[in-house]
Amino acid sequence: MNYSRSSALFAQAEKVIPGGVNSPVRAFKAVGGTPIFVKEAKGAYLYDEDGNKLIDYINSWGPMILGHAYEPVVHAVIEKAKKGTSFGMPTEIETQIAELAVSMVPNIDKIRFVNSGTEACMSAIRLARGFTGNDKIIKFAGCYHGHSDSFLIQAGSGAVTFGAPNSPGVTQGTAKDTLLAKYNNIENVKSVIHANKGEIACIIIEPVAGNMGCIPPKNGFLQSLRDLCDTYGILLIFDEVMTGFRLAKGGAQELYNVNADIVCFGKVIGGGLPVGAFAAREEIMNYLAPLGPIYQAGTLSGNPLAMAAGLAMLETLNNDTELFNRLAKKTEYLHKGFAEVLSENNISHTINRVGSMISIHFTEDQVIDFETSAKGNNETFKKFFHGMLQEGIYIAPSAFETWFITDALTYKDLDATIAAVKKVTSKF
C-alpha cells in the first residue's frame, strides 16, 4: 500500500503541532514509520488520505462499539446541531442520558458529565480525597488513568515506596501522594495499605487493564480489593473509561459482580464525541458543588452535541439484548484463529481476551501485569504491526494497547484478519 499523502501530511503537521500529532501514541514512535492520516470511516473500515481501505481494530480507542458513522448517532448530532452547539446552561438531554446511564450501571445514584476520561478520573480522585479527608491514592503500575499529574507516576524500587514522577512537569509533592501497587497481586496491595494506614483516600484501577495490552483481573482479585477497601475505609474507584458500556450494559461491575464506590466513564458513553463522566452513590456525589464543598466545573460539560451522541449510543446498547454476546463471540473467533495460526508458524505468543477486548503478546509467558507485559518481544510486534498494515489491517501502533472489536465487523472481516496474521507471521 502507498502512504505518500499521509507522509506529506505528517511532515506538514510537524511544523505546527508538537510531534505532528495531538496525542502521542498516534505518532508511531513505538513501531516506527509514519502515521496514517484518516479521511473518513464507515462501519468497520477506515479510508485514509491515500485511498487505502483498512479494517479497523482500534475504533477510536474504543468508542465505536457499533461501528464508525453509526446512523442513529450521526442523525442525533446533526439534528441537535441545528438547534445550537453549546449554551453553558442546563438542557433536558443531560437529564435523559443521566437517567439512562444510572439505570444501566449497578451501584450508582448520580452521575456528572465532563469532557474526557482524564477529567473524569481526575475529578473522581478529588472527590475521594474530599469525601474521606485523606490525601494518598493507590494506583497500579501499567494502568493509565489519563494525563493528570497524580497518574503520571512510575513504580519505585520497593513495594511500598513512594512513586516518582514519570513526566517532567509533575512535582515531587504530587508524586509523594501516589502509591504504586502491582496489578493482580493482592498481597502487594495489602503491604502498601499497611505501610500507609489511615492515609489512603482511594484505590483506582482499570478493572480490566487496557494500557499494557488487555489484561484481565485474576479470579477474586477485584473482590479482594473491595474487601480491603471496606476494612480500611478506602474508596474503590473503577476506571471504566474503556470497559464501561463495552463489556456489559453495566460494565465491569456487572461482569464481575463487584461494586465500586466511584466509577469513571468515557469513550462509549460519548458515542464518539469528547465525553467523560464519573458516578457514585448519592452520599458521595452530594459532596460535589453546588451541593457540597468539593469544586468541579466545566464550561462545555454536558455539551448538547455530545449528550445527543451519547444518548443515541446508550439507547442502542440498552435495547440490543444480544449485542454483548455477539461481540464476545466475534472476539473469541479471532482469538481461536490467531492462536491456531501463530502456533502453526511457531511464534511464541500469549493472547488475552475479555468480552470485546483482545491483545496479542509475543511471549510464551502468561501476561498478568505490567512487568510480564513488558517481556513481550517488541521487535516482533513492530514487524507484525507493519505487516498487518500492508495487508489492510489497522491495529493499535503499540504493543501495550488493547484492540477493540466493533459490532460492524463481519465474519468475512475476521477471516480476512486471521488470513493476514497467517501471511505476515509466516515470514518471521
Which residues are marked as active site? 144, 239, 267
Helix/strand/coil for 39: strand
46: its cell numbers: 477506515
Give the number of other CB atoms < 10 A from CB of residue 233.
11
DSSP symbols for 119-177: HHHHHHHHHHHHHH---EEEEETT----S-GGG-EE--SSTTPBPEESSTT--HHHHTT
Alpha carbon distance 316, 338 (integer Å): 30
Alpha carbon distance 144, 125 (integer Å): 14
Q: Is 16 exposed, middle or buried (0-12, 13-18, 19+ CB in 10 A)?
A: exposed
Is the peptide bond preceding residue 290 cis, with omega within 30 degrees of 0?
A: yes
Q: Provide the 8-state DSSP code for 225.
A: H
Alpha carbon distance 268, 193 (integer Å): 33
Alpha carbon distance 363, 155 (integer Å): 23
Amino acid at 130: G
| Measured CA distances, 341 to 251, 347, 411 (Å) | 31, 9, 17
CA angle 29–31–33, rounded 5-degree value: 75
Contact 141, 206 (CB under 8 A): no
Contact 61, 88 (CB under 8 A): no
Task: Write b or e for each residue in 44-73: b if 16 or more Cβ atoms lie within 10 A of its Cβ, otherwise e.
Answer: bbbebbbebebbbbbbbbbbbbbbbebeeb
Give the total residue count for the chain: 428
Work out the end-to-end distance of the chain between its first and last CA atoms, rounded to an integer number of angstroms: 20
